[in-house]
Copies of this chain bind each other. A is one copy, B any other.
Amino acid sequence: MTRVYNFSAGPAVLPEPVLERARAEMLDWNGTGMSVMEMSHRGKAFVSIAAQAEQDLRDLLKVPDNYKVLFLQGGASGQFAAVPMNLLRGKKQVDYVNTGSWSKKAISEAKKYADVNVVATSEADNFTHIPAFDSWQCNGEAAYLHYTPNETIGGVEFHWVPETGDVPLVADMSSNILSRPIDVSRYGVIYAGAQKNIGPAGLTLVIVRDDLIGNPMPGLPSILDYKIQADADSMSNTPPTYGWYLAGLVFQWLKELGGLEAMEQINRRKAEKLYTAIDNSAFYHNPVEVSARSLMNVPFTLADAELDGLFLKEAEQAGLTTLKGHRSVGGMRASIYNAMPEAGVDALVEFMVDFEQRKA
């Protein structure tokens, strides 16, 4: 068996020790004689797995006690509807920041439920920067302000947190959660699909402040109702048990690495290596303003787009896979989430240098 370095934007690489442990426990978790997949979600074994995962996540993110942590289904796309349906509470207006494809999807879904005020957008510049906060046209009456701290397609990331006063701040952290420490108390709701930095697709994490729970819009499906799920410890219906278990293994792996402070250092080092390689070359180019560059998703183009196909083919042969950029940006994209080993970035940089020397 040869493992590749998989730069997929999501679903994405998982830590190898996590996969190894899942493999070892596949037919028998901890002497129970069954797979975690086969356990009743209400049985003692799974309840202990679920509680441990939640506690480890709370430890990692230092989640304050007045926040609930929910393990749901439906992905971030489900939360695009769930956020307005849970948080409007009689209000009609909501604020959204548009910094890329995922912001746009969130906005599009929210428009079904609310009057969406786009307070700032970088679309005119093809999402290559983050609009300066003092240019935002915020609405003091908004039910919340929603933004996307990291955009996987454009490769732009907020390196600061908007200050929205009494308006609850809502963040789709699907692609950068757990990549560094955050101050949860700055947020009303944080949500994230699991398939980038948490675990397998099909699990969705929601961290929501107590006072924002309850009184949802009529017609909200129960599975997306924060109050129903919070009251039932995320088990108002059968949760995605295996994803929850795997997320727990990822949380343990992060703790063993030294937590999010340690992870941030590793992530900064990985990103710096890659951006330096790009910036030191006239052959490779990243279009994003330096202050807004993502530590998680690094898009880059070749000076000669005719070479894209060859680059991808040779990279694949070198065990560097899923590097094709999104069609809306073109070129390449290297997603270097938590689980991408530093050695993977080193191998990519080495390949890029070699390719440039041979082809440029």
Which residues of A does B touch, CB under 8 Å? Answer: 1-4, 6, 8-14, 16, 19-20, 22-23, 26-28, 32-35, 37-41, 43, 73-78, 80-82, 85, 109, 112-113, 193, 195, 199-203, 217-219, 221-224, 236-243, 246, 319, 321-322
Contact in complex: A202, B14 (CB < 8 Å): no
CA–CA, A242 and B245, complex, Å: 13
Interface centre among A41, A77, A112, A238 (most CB of B within 10 A): A238
Contact in complex: A40, B9 (CB < 8 Å): yes
Q: Closest CB-CB distance, A7 to chain B, in whole Å?
A: 10
Contact in complex: A223, B1 (CB < 8 Å): no
For A13, what are the chain B residues with a Cβ–Cβ distance below 8 Å?
34, 38
Contact in complex: A8, B39 (CB < 8 Å): yes
Contact in complex: B38, A6 (CB < 8 Å): yes
Contact in complex: B109, A221 (CB < 8 Å): yes
Q: Closest CB-CB distance, A348 to chain B, in whole Å?
A: 15
CA–CA, A211 and B20, complex, Å: 46
Contact in complex: A74, B73 (CB < 8 Å): yes
Q: Closest CB-CB distance, A44 to chain B, in whole Å?
A: 11
Contacts A20-B27, A77-B237 supplied; 12 other A-B pairs, CB < 8 Å? A1-B33, A3-B34, A9-B40, A11-B38, A19-B37, A23-B23, A37-B201, A73-B240, A74-B237, A81-B221, A85-B221, A242-B242
Contact in complex: A2, B33 (CB < 8 Å): yes
Contact in complex: A12, B38 (CB < 8 Å): yes
Contact in complex: A78, B242 (CB < 8 Å): no
CA–CA, A75 and B13, complex, Å: 26
Q: Closest CB-CB distance, A74 to chain B, in whole Å?
A: 5
Contact in complex: B77, A4 (CB < 8 Å): no
Q: Closest CB-CB distance, A224 to chain B, in whole Å?
A: 7
CA–CA, A219 and B76, complex, Å: 17
For A109, what are the chain B residues with a Cβ–Cβ distance below 8 Å?
221-222
Q: Closest CB-CB distance, A326 to chain B, in whole Å?
A: 10
For A1, what are the chain B residues with a Cβ–Cβ distance below 8 Å?
27-28, 33
For A237, what are the chain B residues with a Cβ–Cβ distance below 8 Å?
74-78
CA–CA, A134 and B114, complex, Å: 47
Q: Closest CB-CB distance, A291 to chain B, in whole Å?
A: 29
Contact in complex: B236, A41 (CB < 8 Å): no
CA–CA, A20 and B1, complex, Å: 17
For A113, what are the chain B residues with a Cβ–Cβ distance below 8 Å?
219
* Cross-chain pairs A/B with CB under 8 angstroms, 29 sampled: A3-B27, A3-B34, A8-B40, A19-B27, A19-B35, A19-B37, A20-B26, A20-B27, A22-B26, A23-B23, A23-B26, A33-B319, A33-B321, A34-B321, A37-B200, A40-B322, A41-B201, A43-B322, A75-B223, A75-B238, A77-B238, A78-B223, A82-B221, A109-B222, A200-B241, A202-B202, A202-B240, A219-B219, A240-B240
